[in-house]
Every structure is written in structure tokens, then in C-alpha cells.
């Protein structure tokens, strides 16, 4: 069994119109929510073995804040291919992972992440910023992941559902 944590980047700032979409930073709420979501993962013992992230600035910053707060000790893997992409690219990326990784977190963007959750679980879920979908996959090897793989959506956490402020 493999575990996949799908996370949408934390809330980004629109205060800098001169920046491209790719370069948008996190806003104050995003900087607060990302480590809180990582703390939650740490508290429930769900620390990733590998974190993959879109190379867009808001996703990279989310990955680093979540990783630090959940106790992740490795280097975050930044991938240009996870920016402005389709679910199939996530499948290809995950299929190429070594089997030594049992809990993998992938951080990216909507609408792709909502589509990915649906393809893996047949659940249509809204993925607001900083949301994390916890999916258990009935596979022993990442290369076995394909479009026929049906995982179980164990939980979907959002900052709003976890924190009262």
C-alpha cells in the first residue's frame, strides 16, 4: 500500500500585478496556513518520505513551509512539469518514483489537483488553497499506478476545517 498526499499550494498574493502567475508569492494567510497544515501532518504521524512540488513560487514556498513544520528531512523536489499541467503528468511522475517512498506528497495547482483526486478516488472534492487530500493506493510499487488504480480518499483537510480562526 502506498500513501499519496495531494496538496494545493497555500493562498497566494495578488498584490504585485507586475509579477507573472508563476512568480506570485504567498500572502499572509498562505504563510500562516502552510506550516499549520504541516503541523497537523506531524501530529497525526503522516510525515512524507518524499515531497514533490510544482516549481511555481507559491507552490515551492508552500512545500518548504509544510516540510519544515511536519518534520520532513529531505530536499523538496521541484518539478517544472507540475506547473500548468494535467493529471496524467502526475501519474507519470509518481510511476517513476522508487518504491522506498511509502508516503509521497505532491503540491500543485487547481483545477489539475481536483481532477487528480477524482481520477484516483472517484470523489469530486473541492480543493481550496492549502487543502490536503489523503489517499491510500492499493499498490505495492509506484510503477503499478495507472488510470485503473482506484484509491481510497481517507480524509481531506483544509485550514478552515482544522482551525477556527
pTM exceeds 0.85: yes
pLDDT for residue 165: 67
pLDDT at 25: 97
Please list the alpha-helical segments (H only) found in 16-152.
28-43, 57-70, 87-95, 112-121
Residue 104, H or E segment? strand 103-108
Sketch the domain layout of the chain as residue ranges: 2-162
| Cα atoms in the Cβ-side hemisphere of radius 13 Å centred on 39 | 8
Exposure string over 108-129, b if 16+ CB within 10 A, otherwise e = bbeebbbbbbebbbeeeeebeb
Mean pLDDT by 10 residues, the chain (165 residues): 98 94 97 98 98 98 98 97 97 98 98 98 98 98 96 98 84
Task: Kindly calculate the radius of gyration of the chain based on its CA atoms and give it in whole angstroms.
Answer: 15
Fold of 2-162: Rossmann fold (3.40.50)
Bond prior to 111 in cis (omega within 30° of 0): yes
Q: What is the DSSP letter of 12?
A: B
Amino acid at each position: 500500500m502506498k500513501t499519496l498526499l495531494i496538496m494545493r499550494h497555500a493562498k497566494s498574493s495578488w498584490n504585485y500585478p507586475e509579477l507573472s502567475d508563476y512568480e506570485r508569492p504567498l500572502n499572509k494567510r498562505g504563510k500562516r496556513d502552510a506550516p499549520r497544515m504541516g503541523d497537523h501532518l506531524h501530529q497525526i504521524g503522516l510525515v512524507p518520505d518524499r515531497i514533490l512540488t510544482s516549481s511555481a513560487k507559491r507552490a515551492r514556498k508552500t512545500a518548504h513551509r509544510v516540510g519544515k513544520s511536519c518534520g520532513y528531512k529531505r530536499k523538496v523536489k521541484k518539478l517544472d512539469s507540475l506547473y500548468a499541467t494535467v493529471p496524467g503528468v502526475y501519474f507519470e511522475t509518481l510511476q517513476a518514483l522508487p518504491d522506498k517512498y511509502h508516503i509521497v506528497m505532491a503540491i500543485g495547482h487547481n483545477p489539475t489537483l481536483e481532477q487528480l483526486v477524482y481520477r484516483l478516488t472517484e470523489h469530486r472534492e473541492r480543493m481550496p488553497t492549502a487543502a490536503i487530500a489523503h489517499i491510500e493506493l492499493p499498490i505495492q510499487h509506484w510503477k503499478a499506478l495507472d488510470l485503473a488504480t482506484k484509491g481510497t480518499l481517507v480524509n481531506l483537510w483544509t485550514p478552515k476545517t482544522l482551525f477556527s480562526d
